[in-house]
């Protein structure tokens, strides 16, 4: 099997960390998305020039932190990028909102990005991509080699619904309460090549599947694999993509610590020669549904036993060596619950204001 899609030289040293945060660029008065932010991007400060991009809509923006070797360095990078972004937005009377979905925007009235990649995706995918206004949090960790990356990708699947449940921050869509904790997860999963991936027994099978999609013109590039966890063929990292975007930086920090800690725990298991656990795909899909519907109140089934989000988190804390202080911000109320409370007590305007980073 040709491994050109995942060449060995691509893989970063184990443990290098990268974070991508997706946000909404909005007007500071009514918090509606900015339709034409050209000047905003033309005048970026140098420290943001290579660390900020746009998604399918020009008002959905993504920050990339520089690769770091420690959680402490990464937290510093996240804080700096958020600060620079807010300072630059202020010059244009813009604000930045953090959430899995903008609560009251109507995607139909906004134009899509003019990028050729997105134009081709829109033509191929149609409606599911046209309405894709989602915003997520992506955690990258260097793997050192592709075999380890695949082993951990297989094993971490059991925890992806947990990461989603803890991060759920998108109950509203087009000004309606969806009844879900993460409507983002459901909307995004309407796209092809999304959700929790199936088990891949070896790197040949993994690469072969992606190559088949390319050969049959089902995707144009490997990065159009949008699974909740994937081996990133551009950066040589394992990329966890399950969480909603966060407005509160403390929640981003806690999710980073938990996901990195989980990967580090699984790395140790791999080094000890542990075999992959072949989890049933249908069970994982059901667990994800529970997570996006109920958030922290979800019940999962693993090894044929029911387990609550709270209990699974406690077990994972013990395995990773994290402390309650490390994950305290995500042990409290989800962003989704806080959004609902704010909306009920103060209305949509105050809800939008509460999501400003």
Other residues' Cβ atoms within 10 Å of the Cβ of residue 324 = 9
Closest to 170 measured CA to CA, from 295, 56, 53: 295
The first and second tokens of residue 308, run together, are: 């609550």
CB 99 within 8 A of CB 183: no
Handedness of CA 281, 191, 354, 180 (dihedral sign): negative
The 3-class secondary structure across 130-153, one letter per residue, is HCCCCCEEEEEEECCCHHHHHHHH
β-strand partners of 333: none
In the three-class reduction of DSSP (H, G, I as helix; E, B as strand; rest coil), residue 275 is classed as: coil
CB 316 within 8 A of CB 310: no
Where does residue 176 rank: exposed (0-12), middle (13-18), buried (19+ CB within 10 A)?
exposed
Q: Give residue 1's pLDDT.
A: 44
Q: How far apart are the first and last CA of the chain?
A: 46
Q: Give residue 9's pLDDT.
A: 73
Q: Give residue 67's pLDDT.
A: 86
- C-alpha 121/C-alpha 155 separation (Å) is 30
Most distant CA pair in the chain, distance: 59
Q: Give residue 4's pLDDT.
A: 73
Query: Would you list the domain boundaries of the chain?
Result: 8-354
Closest to 160 measured CA to CA, from 189, 134, 131, 133: 189
- C-alpha 88/C-alpha 269 separation (Å) is 44
Q: Give residue 72's pLDDT.
A: 96
């975007």: which residue's tokens? 245
CB 203 within 8 A of CB 146: yes
- C-alpha 313/C-alpha 347 separation (Å) is 33
Q: Give residue 8's pLDDT.
A: 74
Q: Give residue 82's pLDDT.
A: 98
Q: Give residue 352's pLDDT.
A: 99
CB 251 within 8 A of CB 259: no
In the three-class reduction of DSSP (H, G, I as helix; E, B as strand; rest coil), residue 4 is classed as: coil
CB 152 within 8 A of CB 259: no
Q: What is the pLDDT along the chain (357 residues), one digit of tens a residue?
A: 445 788 877 887 899 999 999 999 999 999 999 999 999 999 999 999 999 999 999 999 999 998 899 999 999 999 999 999 999 999 999 999 999 999 999 999 999 998 999 999 999 999 999 999 999 999 999 999 999 999 999 999 999 999 999 999 999 999 999 999 999 999 999 999 999 999 999 999 999 999 999 999 999 999 999 999 999 988 889 999 999 999 999 999 999 999 999 999 999 999 999 999 999 999 999 999 999 999 999 999 998 999 999 999 999 999 999 998 999 999 999 999 999 999 999 999 999 999 999
Q: How far is CA 292 from CA 183, 198, 283, 334, in A?
A: 7, 19, 14, 12
Q: Give residue 3's pLDDT.
A: 53
Q: Which CATH architecture has domain 8-354?
A: 2-Layer Sandwich (3.30)
């Amino acid at each position: 099997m040709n491994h050109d899609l995942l060449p060995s030289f691509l893989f970063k040293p184990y443990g290098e960390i990268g974070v991508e945060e997706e946000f909404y660029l909005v007007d500071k008065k009514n918090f509606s998305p900015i339709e034409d932010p050209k000047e905003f991007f033309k005048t970026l400060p140098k420290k943001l020039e290579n660390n900020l991009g746009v998604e399918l809509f020009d008002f959905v923006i993504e920050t990339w932190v520089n690769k770091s070797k420690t959680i402490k360095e990464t937290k510093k990078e996240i804080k700096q990028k958020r600060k620079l972004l807010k300072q630059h937005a202020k010059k244009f009377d813009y604000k930045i909102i953090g959430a899995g979905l903008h609560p009251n925007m109507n995607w139909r009235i906004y134009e899509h990005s003019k990028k050729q990649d997105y134009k081709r995706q829109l033509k191929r995918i149609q409606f599911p991509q046209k309405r894709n206004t989602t915003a997520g949090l992506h955690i990258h960790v260097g793997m050192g080699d592709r075999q380890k990356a695949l082993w951990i990708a297989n094993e971490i699947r059991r925890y992806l619904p947990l990461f989603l449940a803890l991060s759920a921050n998108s109950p509203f869509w087009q000004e309606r309460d969806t009844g879900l904790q993460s409507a983002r997860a459901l909307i995004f999963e309407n796209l092809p090549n999304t959700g929790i991936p199936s088990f891949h027994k070896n790197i040949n099978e993994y690469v072969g599947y992606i190559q088949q999609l390319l050969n049959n013109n089902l995707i144009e590039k490997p990065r159009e694999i949008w699974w909740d966890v994937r081996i990133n063929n551009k950066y040589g990292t394992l990329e966890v993509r399950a969480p909603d975007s966060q407005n509160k930086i403390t929640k981003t920090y806690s999710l980073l610590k938990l996901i990195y800690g989980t990967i580090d725990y699984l790395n140790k298991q791999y080094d000890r020669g542990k075999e992959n656990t072949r989890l049933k795909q249908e069970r994982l899909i059901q667990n994800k549904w529970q997570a996006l519907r109920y958030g922290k109140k979800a019940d999962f089934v693993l090894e044929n036993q029911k387990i609550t989000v709270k209990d699974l988190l406690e077990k994972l804390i013990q395995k990773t060596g994290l402390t309650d202080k490390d994950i305290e911000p995500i042990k409290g109320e989800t962003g989704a619950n806080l959004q609902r409370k704010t909306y009920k007590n103060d209305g949509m305007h105050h809800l939008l204001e509460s999501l400003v980073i």
